């Protein structure tokens, strides 16, 4: 993940000036965005490395908590 991607996710989460005025809502949203981005990255690696789409899909479902 690049620095620009992280900054963009922070902006989408409502983090503007590195303070949340005592609230953690924007930080939780930011953490969820980062986790989702990393999860997507892991899933794309699985699909690229698995010889069987069935195995890849089961693995991705497990990563995403659907299994």
pTM equals 0.64
Domain boundaries, the chain: 3-63
Per-residue confidence (pLDDT) for residue 26, from 0 to 100: 74
* Greatest Cα-to-Cα distance within the chain, rounded to the nearest angstrom: 49
Task: List, for residues 51-61, the tens digit of each pLDDT value.
Answer: 888 999 999 99
Q: Span 32-50, mean pLDDT?
A: 90
pLDDT of 16-31, one tens digit each? 765 555 556 777 778 8
CA distance 10 to 59: 29
Residues 9 and 6: their CA atoms lie apart, in Å, by: 5
At 43, is the pLDDT very low, low, confident or very high (cuts 50, 70, 90)? very high
């Amino acid at each position: 993940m690049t620095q620009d991607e992280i900054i963009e996710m922070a902006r989408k989460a409502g983090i503007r000036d590195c303070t949340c005025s005592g609230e953690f809502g924007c930080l939780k949203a930011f953490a969820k965005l980062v986790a989702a981005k990393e999860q997507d990255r892991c899933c794309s690696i699985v699909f690229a490395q698995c010889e069987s789409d069935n195995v890849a899909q089961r693995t991705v479902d497990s990563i995403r908590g659907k299994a």
